[in-house]
Amino acid sequence: MPGARPMTMASATPSREEMKSAYQSALQSQAPIAAPAPEPAPPVSAIHHLDPDEIVASLKRAGTLIASGDIAAARLVLRPVAEDGDAQASVMLAESYDPEILDKLVVHGIVPDVARARRWYEAAKRLGSAEANQRLELLASQNR
């Protein structure tokens, strides 16, 4: 059509900077927190798509975030690595929902979720984590 302007499509995946900006904006607005969407069951894959150096860097970054009390950001870092089939990331992600671990970390504003913790521990167990098996036993004994 003459005079029609071409349409541009927005990117389906937000950039890292867009996600960071949205996260910081949400923190600053102090808006009421909506109920989280149900999390799908974690996939377990023995095939890693992430570079091993990227996995190591993500685990280190998540550990630093957890140590500083930023559990929500640590979850964002850990989830893609756990979904890629890394047992250690799956355990760390499970711990970010585990009531006992959260109590030890003395974090505020993060609600434990035993069901999500169990799902990620089970994924880690399927990936060969002995620690996940122990944590699953502890969760079971706490919820009796």
Question: CATH code at 73?
Answer: 1.25.40.10
* Residue 75 structural domain: 50-142
Tell me whether residue 114 is in a domain: yes
- Report pLDDT for 120: 97
Number of domains in the chain: 1
pLDDT in tens, 95-113: 999 999 999 998 888 999 9
pTM for the model: 0.66
Q: Is the predicted pLDDT of residue 143 greater than 80, yes or no? A: no
Residue that wins the pLDDT comparison between 140 and 41: 140
Tell me whether residue 73 is in a domain: yes
Tell me whether residue 31 is in a domain: no
Tell me whether residue 37 is in a domain: no
Q: Residue 124: name the closest of 59, 67, 53, 38 by CA.
A: 59
Q: Is the predicted pLDDT of residue 41 greater than 80, yes or no? A: no
Residue that wins the pLDDT comparison between 45 and 83: 83
Tell me whether residue 80 is in a domain: yes
- Helices then strands, each counted (H, E), the chain: 7, 0
DSSP 76-130: HHHHHHHHTT-HHHHHHHHHTT-HHHHHHHT-SS----HHHHHHHHHHHHHTT-H
Tell me whether residue 100 is in a domain: yes
In whole angstroms, what separates CA 108 from the centre of its chain? 17
pLDDT in tens, 65-76: 999 999 999 999
Q: Name the band, by pLDDT with cuts 50, 70 and 90, for residue 16.
A: confident
Tell me whether residue 19 is in a domain: no
